[in-house]
Structure 1
Amino acid sequence: MRTDQAVIDRAVALLQAGELVAFPTETVYGVGADAANPAAVGRIFTAKGRPADHPLIVHLPGDGGLDRWARDIPTRAWELAEAFWPGPLTLILKRAPAVPAIVTGGQDTVGVRVPAHPLALALLRAYAEAGGGVDGLCGIAAPSANRFGRISPTEAAHVRAELGDAVPLILDGGRCPVGIESTIVDLTRGDDQAPRLLRPGRVTPEQIAAVIGVLPEIVTRPADDGTPRVSGSLAAHYAPTTPLRFVTQADLVDVVDELRQTGRRCALLHHSQLPNASALHAGLRLPVDPQGYARGLYAALRELDQMAADIILVEEIPAAPAWAAIADRLHRAACGAGLATNDRASTTQVRP
């Protein structure tokens, strides 16, 4: 959807006034504030119901001002920025002194990225041309524009449904083309150690290794070893309000039939062709390729969550590296979706 310059100028004025603006990125919609203004950033936490120690990602118009947000920037960071920015890769670096503690969750690290969505870039560049925010810093802190822990928004209507009037302006850029959050890589340990992949996304470990010559260490769960806290790292996240469980393709028909016999309404997210879907209360089929599946995932979960079903079943996805980021999101969604059940679908695991 076309957004004219007058709307972008209004968004810039709101940000400079300490207000919130929601905007699309290639991954999901974000709710943004002047990253240099602690009071403005605080409005993000209030609107989302987000814990105060949960850090935010700072979105930049380019890598030209990176040294105002980070210090001791390693060579690997510049190499990855050149290779993947603009794009769905967040770098965790040591924070510069000017970065407010509220942005980093009180940590000595900061997450930064340059989004690839044309509307996000237009906003960020207009913001920079207008002088940026406090002290001339040109960054927008922007987590996903939803209530904390719930399904991330990939359309402007999702933002309004989640945050309502807490956001004065939502820039509508259509559906987000990637559909899941950015890859997060920690580069704070120095070049003598492998970087840590803290959240999988579109940019894969193999793509990162092709640029910097070393495969990142994959961190599968938060640790007490100094690993930075980052967005989307909690066990329960991206969650619908309806209980969500997984089921293999082989067991799918039997599980649906068992649920039907007990009077439970079943909604299904699947990618295979089903032999008989008549017993379903609702069902949505996503593409079998990982990029297509990721693009439609959150919108599908949101739609199924509104179907008044007793349970959402998700057909097990392929156990392949290309599906790792999707497996991560589905696992966290299931952990946060609530009620445990005793049927076979509740014990099936998502394989990474």
Structure 2
Amino acid sequence: MSASTGAVAPDIAAAVAALRGGELVAFPTETVYGLGADARNSEALRKVYALKGRPSMHPLILHVLSADDLKDWVSDLPSAAQTLASRFWPGPLTLVLPRSARVSDALTGGQDTVAIRVPAHPVARTLLAAFGGGIAAPSANRYGRISPTRAAHVREEFPTDLLVLEGGDCEVGLESTIVSLVEAVPRLLRPGSISRTDLESALGKSVKVGAGADTPRAPGSTAQHYAPQTPLELVPVGALSSAETAAAARGERVATLACPPISDPATYGRALYAELRRLD
């Protein structure tokens, strides 16, 4: 398998067969690797929660091939959704919309909304096209752990029998931006590579940040998500030497993660999770 072209046809065929058989498949997206299940199969969705150790009230993100598929999953499509889909899909943006009656509670965490996006990674798109349906896929890691940005990370998390499609390093390396469109004013529920400014520019109006009293729960938005096992401390460069000395005096092993300039946030985001995993 090639990181540039993605998984080869036999691997895609095996993944499709596994999904149709109610099994789970890990696959790359431009954000992180996902743990995929047939979004219409409630039993398969419950396997996702069980394997990850994820609370069942936490909704999953649904991945579809194109915006044309929204009609099969949502009951109402506001103009803002069409605008954002046209501007950012395929890409790292998840929209929270009113669900249709056919959508399983196991996908939505029992809510009346569904979180949905169209991924850009060629392997994810090839898989979706071959499967011919929606794939629910949270990040392919144990609940509360750092999300995987390489196939090797997935195998570290789940070393037993799990089909993993190879797709190289994830281009974005951070979870998708999540926007709720179920209220009059859009809400940014989870930041990502698509910023609030990007959203407001596309919509031509303001976007609120954070959940309101009636805002649905968003995938991956609890304090337990994306937590490294290694305690982290942010230290300015000028204070690094004294911080290392103090930690060593406490008998702690110290590793220094030097970040690229913040003026290059794309590179920063792409490397962050992989480096945190390396430190662990």
Compute the TM-score of the two structures, normalised by the length of structure 2: 0.95
1:155 and 2:150 matched: yes
What residue in structure 1 maps to residue 111 of structure 2? 107
What residue in structure 2 maps to residue 14 of structure 1? 18
Deviation at 1:166, TM superposition (A): 5.2
Deviation at 1:236, TM superposition (A): 2.6
Deviation at 1:287, TM superposition (A): 5.6
Query: Number of residue pairs matched?
Result: 275
1:228 and 1:163 mapped to 2: Cα distance?
Answer: 30
1:164-313 maps to which residues of 2 (within 5 A)? Answer: 164-165=159-160, 167=162, 169-189=163-183, 193-219=184-210, 225-271=213-259, 286=260, 288=262, 289-305=264-280
1:23 and 1:267 mapped to 2: Cα distance?
Answer: 31
Deviation at 1:249, TM superposition (A): 2.5
Deviation at 1:208, TM superposition (A): 1.1
Verify the 8 A CA contact 1:48 1:163 in the aligned structure 2.
Answer: no
* Offset from partner CA, 1:259-299 (integer Å, 9 cap, x none): 1223221112122xxxxxxxxxxxxxx46411001001011
**SS of residue paired to 1:259:** helix
1:112 and 1:51 mapped to 2: Cα distance?
Answer: 19
Identify the structure with bigger relative contact order (alpha carbons < 8 Å, sequence gap 6+).
2
Q: Which residue type is aligned with residue 250 of structure 1?
A: G
Q: Which residue type is aligned with residue 34 of structure 2?
A: G
1:3 and 1:104 mapped to 2: Cα distance?
Answer: 29
Q: Which residue type is aligned with residue 193 of structure 2?
A: R
* Offset from partner CA, 1:165-217 (integer Å, 9 cap, x none): 252x100000001000000000011xxx3200000001111111122111210
**SS of residue paired to 2:256:** strand
In structure 2, runs of 5+ residues without a counterpart are: none
Verify the 8 A CA contact 1:47 1:166 in the aligned structure 2.
Answer: no
**SS of residue paired to 2:27:** strand
In structure 1, runs of 5+ residues without a counterpart are: 129-137, 272-285, 306-352
1:266 and 1:40 mapped to 2: Cα distance?
Answer: 42
2:113 and 2:233 mapped to 1: Cα distance?
Answer: 35
1:111-126 maps to which residues of 2 (within 5 A)? Answer: 111-126=115-130
Verify the 8 A CA contact 1:186 1:197 in the aligned structure 2.
Answer: yes
**SS of residue paired to 1:270:** coil
RMSD: 1.2
Larger radius of gyration: 1
Deviation at 1:250, TM superposition (A): 2.7
Q: Which residue type is aligned with residue 164 of structure 1?
A: P
2:207 and 2:237 mapped to 1: Cα distance?
Answer: 32
2:24 and 2:168 mapped to 1: Cα distance?
Answer: 19
1:107 and 1:166 mapped to 2: Cα distance?
Answer: 31
Deviation at 1:248, TM superposition (A): 2.4
